[in-house]
Amino acid sequence: MSVLLLYFLFLKATVTSFNGPSSLPILREDLVVRRHILTDRQLNAAVVAGRCAPGPMGIYVVSVGYFIGGLPGAFAGWLAMITPAFLIVPLLRYVGNRAEHPRVRSTLQAVVIASAGLILSSAKPLAIDAITGPLPLGILIGSIVLLVTTRIETVWVIAGAAIFACVVKAVS
């Protein structure tokens, strides 16, 4: 796959998404389902690598690019990730005070809801690929319970889950 085509696929995903993870369904559809140049497992690994690194939530696009095309692919992912930021500045200048208009506010709320739906739709196949036995399933359920019922920061739940998995693997 050419680096230019990869850039445009990434750009389509990042420009049409509302935040970092909301580009995931678009990337999955283009790269895993349609073109078969990436697997769900590789996409999972890219998301994990991106979420472990500090920076923007959509940085996993760089990891996806690396899986597909090495360093040139990673550069295409990085370039596609930063392009919307350069496009939003003139747009904000144009929109200006119109952002408080009820239609604009309603449109933004609809985009957020649609984005949440897209994320959920892509999470199912990725979760099915990642949950390979009772240990990952138990960690998933325990993490959800902790996140919903307490005010523990997400990073501590992730760290605890990783430590728990390492201890269980070492014991068995």
pLDDT in tens, 62-113: 999 999 999 999 999 999 988 887 877 777 777 665 657 777 778 777 877 8
Count of helices and strands (H, E) across the chain: 7, 0
Q: pLDDT: is 36 or 114 the higher one?
A: 36
Rounded mean pLDDT of 127-131?
Answer: 80
Neighbours of 94 (CB within 10 A): 8
pLDDT in tens, 100-119: 777 777 877 787 787 777 77
DSSP letters spanning 149-172: HS---HHHHHHHHHHHHHHHHHH-
